């Protein structure tokens, strides 16, 4: 059996948000390698002045497009902010018009910020909640009707975080957004089951992407050494990061037929860290 036949994704269509770089790019390219055409979006700009790491760019999204096309698949890529309802709906509608169907959604776009809960600004709070939680709900709202309409069932993968099952000090707004995604995942799983659509969340830990700022974390741990205990080592890789490609392997499996009995499930992608 070929790799494509194994996942049953040949000729299917997948929407990936936050696809310009990092994990989202890996998901788009890995899904294309498994035979899917891709609808990709990314803000390709800073989500807010309060986000301290460098933003993705249009060139980053172009690199994702090249990666998808290298597998011989079609791609519709557009700069869209998941907070922009009209733009998200237009993207899904144009993608379905071009590719004829929608089978898979990977709601991956997200931002991370730091600060203790009582020190966060309104801007820090609302940026993280609006992008991570409300943006994911907007992604669901824009795409689920097209999946139901196509009548082929499908799979929705919600990208939460280890911080969505175990809150960490120093980013309570991020944890709140990622815990909220568990509620969205499990509610939606119940609501769309009758349409043959599965919904699961993944909970990555320490993935090597621009979102992770070692110097910011070093300062927090320097100021508050007790916080270090909330960020355990990974039993399978005590001294390193998980790669985006490793996370993408899990996403492709969740998107495909091999995970057909799973819905409403929270899957840690953490090399065991959450067991500490």
Ligand X SMILES: NC(=O)c1ccc[n+]([C@@H]2O[C@H](COP(=O)([O-])OP(=O)(O)OC[C@H]3O[C@@H](n4cnc5c(N)ncnc54)[C@H](O)[C@@H]3O)[C@@H](O)[C@H]2O)c1
Q: Which of 33, 159, 197, 252 touches ligand X by CB under 6 A?
A: 159
Q: Is 42 in the site for ligand X (CB under 6 A)?
A: yes
Residue 22 or 180 having the CB closest to ligand X: 22
The pair phi, psi for residue 46, each rounded to 5°, is -65, 135
Count CA atoms closer than 13 A to 75's CA, side-chain side. Answer: 29
Please select the residue that binds ligand X; options are 16, 22, 91, 95, rule is CB under 6 A. 22
CA distances from 154 to 36, 139, 161, 263 (A): 12, 15, 22, 11
Residue with tokens 């139901």: 148
Is residue 248 close enough to count as binding ligand X by CB under 6 A? no
Integer Cα distance of 170 and 227 in angstroms: 8
Residue 108 near residue 23, CB atoms below 8 Å? yes
Applying CB under 6 A, which of residues 35, 67, 95, 110 lies at the interface with ligand X? 110
When the beta carbons of 207 and 220 are compared against ligand X, the nearer one is 207
The residue among 13, 28, 23, 12 whose CA lies nearest residue 211 is: 23
Q: Is position 220 an interface residue for ligand X (rule: CB under 6 A)?
A: no
Q: Which stretch binds ligand X (CB under 6 A): 5-13, 77-85, 98-106, 231-239?
A: 77-85
State which residue, 52 or 98, has the beta carbon closest to ligand X: 52
Give the number of residues written for the chain: 276
Encoded one letter per residue, x for contact with ligand X by CB under 6 A and - for no contact, window 117-156 reads --------------x---x---------------------
Select 47 or 142, whichever has its Cβ closest to ligand X. Answer: 47
Q: Which residues are catalytic?
A: 174
């Amino acid at each position: 059996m070929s790799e494509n036949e194994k996942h049953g994704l040949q000729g299917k269509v997948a929407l990936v948000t936050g696809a310009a770089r990092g994990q989202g790019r890996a998901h788009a390219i890995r899904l294309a390698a498994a035979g899917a055409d891709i609808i990709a979006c990314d803000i390709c700009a800073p989500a807010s002045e309060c986000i301290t790491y460098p933003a993705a760019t249009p060139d980053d999204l172009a690199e994702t497009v090249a990666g998808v096309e290298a597998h011989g698949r079609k791609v519709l890529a557009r700069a869209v902010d998941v907070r922009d309802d009209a733009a998200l709906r237009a993207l899904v509608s144009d993608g379905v018009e071009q590719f004829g169907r929608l089978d898979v959604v990977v709601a991956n776009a997200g931002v991370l910020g730091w600060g203790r809960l009582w020190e966060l600004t309104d801007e820090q709070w609302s940026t993280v909640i609006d992008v991570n939680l409300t943006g994911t709900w907007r992604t669901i709202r824009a795409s689920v009707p097209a999946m139901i309409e196509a009548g082929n069932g499908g799979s929705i993968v919600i990208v939460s975080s280890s911080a969505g099952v175990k809150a960490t000090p120093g980013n309570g707004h991020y944890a709140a957004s990622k815990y909220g995604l568990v509620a969205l995942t499990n509610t939606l799983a119940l609501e769309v089951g009758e349409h043959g659509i599965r919904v699961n969340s993944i909970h990555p830990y320490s993935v090597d992407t621009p979102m992770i700022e070692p110097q910011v974390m070093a300062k927090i741990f320097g100021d508050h050494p007790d916080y270090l205990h909330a960020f355990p080592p990974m039993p399978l890789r005590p001294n390193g990061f998980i790669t985006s490609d490793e996370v993408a392997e899990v996403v492709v499996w969740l998107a495909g037929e091999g995970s057909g009995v799973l819905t409403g499930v929270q899957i840690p992608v953490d090399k065991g860290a959450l067991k500490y």
